[in-house]
Amino acid sequence: KTIYLKDYKAPDYWIDETQLTFELFEDHALVHSRLALCLNTERHAETALPPLVLDGQQLELQKVVLDEQELVEGAYQVDSDSLTLQPSRAQFELALTTRIEPQNNTALEGLYKSGSMFCTQCEAEGFRKITYYLDRPDVMSRFTTTVIAERERYPVLLSNGNPIASGEHEGGRHWVSWEDPFPKPAYLFALVAGDLCLLQDSFTTMSGRTIDLRIYVEPENRTQCDHAMDSLKRSMRWDEEVYGREYDLDIFMIVAVNDFNMGAMENKGLNIFNSSCVLAHQDTATDMAFQRVEAVVAHEYFHNWSGNRVTCRDWFQLSLKEGFTVFRDSEFSADMNSRTVKRIEDVTFLRANQFAEDAGPMAHPVRPDSFIEISNFYTLTVYEKGAEVVRMLHTLLGEEGFRKGTDLYFERHDGQAVTCDDFIKALEDANGADFIQFKRWYSQAGTPRLNVRSEYDAASREYRLHFSQVCPPTPGQPEKQPQVIPVRMALLDRDGNEIPLQLEGKALGNEAVVSITEAEQTLVFENVPNCPLPSLLRGFSAPVKLSYPYSRDDRVFLAKHDPDGFNRWEAAQGLAVDVLQGLVEIHRAGRPLNLDQRLVEVMRSVIADAELDAAMVAEIIRLPSEAYLIELAEVADVDAIHYTREWLRRALAEALRDEMSARYQILAAAGSGAFSAKADAMAARSLKNSLLSYLMLTGEQQVVGWCVRQFVEATNMTDRQAALVALVNSPFEQQREAALAEFAERWAEYPLVMDQWFSIQAAASQPGALDRVRKLMEHPLFTMRNPNKVRALIGAFANQNLINFHALDGSGYAFLADRIIELDRSNPQIASRLVTPLSRWRKFEPKRQELMKTELARIMAQSPLSPDVYEVVSKSLA
| Binding positions for ligand ARG, rule: CB under 6 A | 121, 123-124, 261-262, 264-266, 299-300, 322, 375, 378, 829
Residues forming a β-bridge with 274: 257
Among 335, 327, 287, 348, which Cα is nearest to 569's? 348
List the catalytic residues: 300
Q: Which is nearer to ligand ARG, 218 or 266 (CB)?
A: 266
Q: Which is nearer to ligand ARG, 180 or 266 (CB)?
A: 266
Q: How far is the CB of 299 from ligand ARG (least distance, A)?
A: 6
Among 283, 714, 638, 798, which Cα is nearest to 726's? 714
First and final CA of the chain: distance in angstroms? Answer: 16
Tell me, by CB under 5 A, how many residues bind Zn ion.
Answer: 2
Tally of CB atoms within 10 A around 593: 14
Task: Give the torsion sign (CA, 630, 632, 636, 638).
Answer: negative
Q: Is residue 102 a contact partner of residue 113, using CB atoms and an 8 Å limit?
A: yes
Helix 679-695 to helix 701-713 angle, to the nearest 10 degrees? 140
Q: How far is the CB of 284 from ligand ARG (least distance, A)?
A: 24
Q: How far is the CB of 189 from Zn ion (least distance, A)?
A: 16
Q: How far is the CB of 378 from ligand ARG (least distance, A)?
A: 4
Encoded one letter per residue, x for contact with Zn ion by CB under 5 A and - for no contact, window 319-358 reads: ---x--x---------------------------------
Q: How far is the CB of 631 from ligand ARG (least distance, A)?
A: 24
Q: Is residue 257 a contact partner of residue 117, using CB atoms and an 8 Å limit?
A: yes
Partner in contact with 358, chosen from Zn ion, ligand ARG, none, beta carbon below 5 to 8 Å by kind:
none
Q: How far is the CB of 262 from ligand ARG (least distance, A)?
A: 5
Which residue's CB atom is positioned nearest to ligand ARG? 378
Task: Give the torsion sign (CA, 150, 153, 155, 158).
Answer: negative
Among 495, 488, 575, 485, which Cα is nearest to 535's? 488
Q: Which is nearer to Zn ion, 304 or 661 (CB)?
A: 304
Partner in contact with 620, chosen from ligand ARG, Zn ion, none, beta carbon below 5 to 8 Å by kind:
none
- 398 Ramachandran zone, left/alpha/beta (phi>0; psi -120 to 50): left
Q: Which is nearer to ligand ARG, 218 or 384 (CB)?
A: 384
Partner in contact with 15, chosen from Zn ion, ligand ARG, none, beta carbon below 5 to 8 Å by kind:
none
Q: Which is nearer to ligand ARG, 266 or 755 (CB)?
A: 266
Partner in contact with 193, chosen from Zn ion, ligand ARG, none, beta carbon below 5 to 8 Å by kind:
none
Binders in 128-157 for Zn ion, by CB under 5 A: none
Q: Hey, is 344 helix, strand or coil?
A: helix
Report long-range pairs for 367-370 (Cβ below 8 Å, ≥24 apart): 367/5, 367/316, 367/317, 367/319, 367/420, 367/442, 367/443, 368/5, 368/316, 369/4, 369/5, 369/6, 369/316, 369/443, 370/2, 370/3, 370/4, 370/5
What does the alpha-carbon distance between residue 377 and residue 262 come to, in Å, rounded to a whole number?
Answer: 13
Radius of gyration of the chain (CA): 28
Q: How far is the CB of 443 from ligand ARG (least distance, A)?
A: 22
Report long-range pairs for 686-690 (Cβ below 8 Å, ≥24 apart): 686/287, 686/614, 686/615, 686/618, 687/614, 687/615, 687/617, 687/618, 687/663, 688/664, 688/719, 688/722, 689/718, 689/719, 689/722, 689/723, 689/726, 690/618, 690/621, 690/622
Q: Hey, is 791 helix, strand or coil?
A: helix
Q: How far is the CB of 311 from ligand ARG (least distance, A)?
A: 11
Q: Which is nearer to Zn ion, 318 or 816 (CB)?
A: 318
Partner in contact with 329, chosen from Zn ion, ligand ARG, none, beta carbon below 5 to 8 Å by kind:
none
Q: Which is nearer to ligand ARG, 124 or 501 (CB)?
A: 124
Q: Which is nearer to ligand ARG, 418 or 660 (CB)?
A: 418
Q: Hey, is 327 helix, strand or coil?
A: helix
Binders in 525-544 for Zn ion, by CB under 5 A: none
Element (H, E) at 455: strand 449-457
- Write out the residues near Zn ion by the rule CB under 5 A: 322, 325
